[in-house]
Chains A and B, each alone.
Chain A
Amino acid sequence: MEVKTKLTIISILVSIMFGSLYSVTMQNVFAHESRLYSIGNKDYWITVGSIGEPVFVDDKSGAEAFISTADPANPLDSDSNGTKMMEGLEKTLKFEISAGDKKKVFEIEPAWNDPGHYEAVFYPTVETTYNYRLFGTINNVSVSFDFQCQTSEGEGQQENSTKQISEGVTQKAQRGGFGCIDSRADVGFPEPYVSNNELVHMINKTKGNSTIE
């Protein structure tokens, strides 16, 4: 094998290495909201947040969920060795994304090579509060969980109180929270960023003014 070929192979390996490492480590610094539910007499950890936080308007993002069965020996510890990621839930669960008075249902897809991780990709176009409703069935029990992003970043609730959500579904614990979609106004550089939605409004306004004139 020629040196040139060897270097090419090594370059590809290094690229893959850093690329994968980046994607894995990025997942780890996200802020998400985790809740422990008892669904049909079985405990589940459901963690929901936005893909690729922090997310800015017009970024490619979406809602994502990590679903695992809790460790029966230590259900309150989502990090316990006995937790098992749940696969195949894309068939029974969906995300309904709502913002303002708009709602839309998205199919969820399993993330590649990441069992128990499900995604519903969308492009947030407005800086506002987003609500992710995960609904469908888990363990043959109908579920509907609302997760709302927080305008106060990094201040998630930490509580272990038990509350009945619906028939056969009880929430036992809650951890953390996830931030809302940020405007690019603060980070647009060197020229201020104008979102697509703002552009549309400006154009419509200009059209309106022209018509009046």
Chain B
Amino acid sequence: MVQATLSSNWVRMTTRVLTMSLLAFAIFGPITNMLLWAVAEVWYFPYKLPLEYGFSFWERVFRPEGNATEALFSSIWIALLTVVVSLAIAIPAGYALARGKMPFRYLIMLLFLLPQAFPAVAVHMNVARIFYGLDLTGTVMGVVLVHASQGLVFAVWIATAAFAAVDGELEAAARNMGAGRWRTFIDVTLPLALPGIMASAIFVFLISMDEFTGTYFVGAPDVVTLPMLLFTSSMEGNYQIASISSLILLVPSVGFMLFIERFLKADVLAKVGS
């Protein structure tokens, strides 16, 4: 009996350790590979590890005339504009969806999901065609609009949750003190919803930083973002440049995780999409 419990404990322990290790490998394996490539100077088959280490590729990426720096800055610029465009729609839409007694509320929220619902390539090819007629292909604005169309569903859903989590009685108290609707929104509603709005802004920023298909169809070859550079350099077998670009793309994602963990309360997260 004791023997049996011991052995079953042992089996449970082993499976747990194995699962954990597999999971860790699945998560950290590719990242380790990427880290190695980022600092490898010379590495070819059949060697398991790089032959020479160094930072010369980093220098190349961050060289002022290097196209990586340019791609990084255009990525950040596009991402910031995408955030502005998305929030300009998400804040009023989120407030209206959270507070107003709107008919077809769910339908409207699902509407923002539509760009995600169809195959990305098909959607973006047609977007590119329409944008061509509007002289938007190859422009930063065109890329921003494509990115915003993808980020909007999250921006609106998260903003709606953030506004819904603000107790209506807090707004009522401001009105009672003599504040009009607009003043109440600025003084009470917006500051209280701000963590959620910030989260949606960061989320949209991340989506824009990572976006590839839409940028490719609408922006190429005039607008080059980091993911596009990453794509071309891996196609050319230039794994160092690709790895360094990926590492740069990793920074905002990690920052977002930390932000969510630190500032976003469970009551906001629970209301996302409802």
Q: Indicate whether A and B interact.
A: no
Using a CB–CB cutoff of 8 Å, the interface residues on chain B facing chain A are none
